Amino acid sequence: MRRHAFVANTVAARLEVAGVWCERKSFEPMAAARSAADADEIERHFQARDASEVAWFADHEAPRAPYRQVPPNGCNDPAEIEAMRRLAPAVVLVFGTGLLRSALIDSFPGRIVNLHLGLSPYYRGAGTNFWPLVNREPEYCGATIHFLDAGVDSGPLIAHVRPHLRSGDGPHDIGNKVIVAAAAALAEAGLAAGQGGVQAVPQPGGGRVYRRADFSAEAVRTLYANFETGMIDDYLAARDARDAALSLVTLEVRR
């Protein structure tokens, strides 16, 4: 997807990138449809998302660094892990893969930095900039840069980023604003980690974890109804008070 190519290219503009592994997605949203109306709702949502990403990331059809296409879960293949190890990276940056297993994580101890689209620990798992909008909580849209561990978006926190929301923003505007801010933050964190390290803090517990199986056409309908009934303007009118409930981390370089 263009979002992944954009992130890879943003990173490559700041760091020397030895290789990019592009893992094919396994999520099939149409499987959530229970009727023809559901299928139409889901299709419209993802067509609008794809069109928005083409507009935002028009020049990013593919990574500009050497890259490999692998199937779903392909990054956990022992042969792929060995190919990664041969490149001897100072830091491994992750965005948008499936669950990475211990064989890969243990191959690069303390050197894997993940970009999670969602504010951890508040929203973890899948669709974590979708569900805040379904729950009428746009203040929880954002991204988390953290060290990867074996949990679900649970590793030590390096930085949070959030989009600057404006009246009239739609769900895909918000999602793409997050990606732009997160890609820049990932590049900065990767550069700092490769040159001597970054400060990280343990994640507190709690928050909500969403699975792919939670996705539904009804959730899509609720999301759009929230926009139609002024969710963004309601948030902007009380932004300071609502943002005060968040505890966020900023990037700190270890000297």
Report whether 150 contacts 191 (CB < 8 A): no
Cα–Cα distance for residue pair 73/243, rounded to 1 Å? 36
CA distances from residue 148 to 9, 106, 189, 193 in whole angstroms, order as listed:
21, 10, 13, 13
Is residue 237 over pLDDT 80?
A: yes
Average pLDDT, the chain: 93
Averaged pLDDT for residues 230-247:
97
Lowest model confidence (mean pLDDT) among 9-23, 52-66, 151-165, 166-180: 151-165
Sheet containing 112-116: give its strands across. 92-95, 112-116, 143-147, 157-161
In the chain, pLDDT over 90 holds for what percent of residues? 81
Averaged pLDDT for residues 51-55:
95
Is residue 253 over pLDDT 90?
A: no
Residue 26: other Cβ atoms inside 10 A: 10
Query: Which has the closest alpha carbon to 135: 180, 176, 172, 171?
Result: 171
Residue 121: other Cβ atoms inside 10 A: 20
Assigned superfamily of 2-21+32-243: Formyl transferase, N-terminal domain (3.40.50.170)
CA distances from residue 243 to 23, 152, 182 in whole angstroms, order as listed:
35, 24, 19
Is residue 211 over pLDDT 80?
A: yes
| Domain range annotation of the chain | 2-21+32-243
Q: Longest Cα pair distance anywhere in the chain, in angstroms? A: 58
pLDDT (tens digit, 9 = 90+) per residue, 30-46? Answer: 999 999 999 999 999 99
78 by Cβ neighbours in 10 Å (0-12 / 13-18 / 19+) ranks as exposed
Reported confidence tier of residue 255, pLDDT bands at 50, 70, 90: low
Alpha helices in the chain (DSSP H): 2-12, 36-56, 78-87, 102-105, 131-134, 171-194, 217-228, 231-237, 239-243
* pLDDT value at residue 217: 97
Instruction: Record the pTM.
Output: 0.92
Q: Which two tokens stand for residue 83?
A: 């190919």
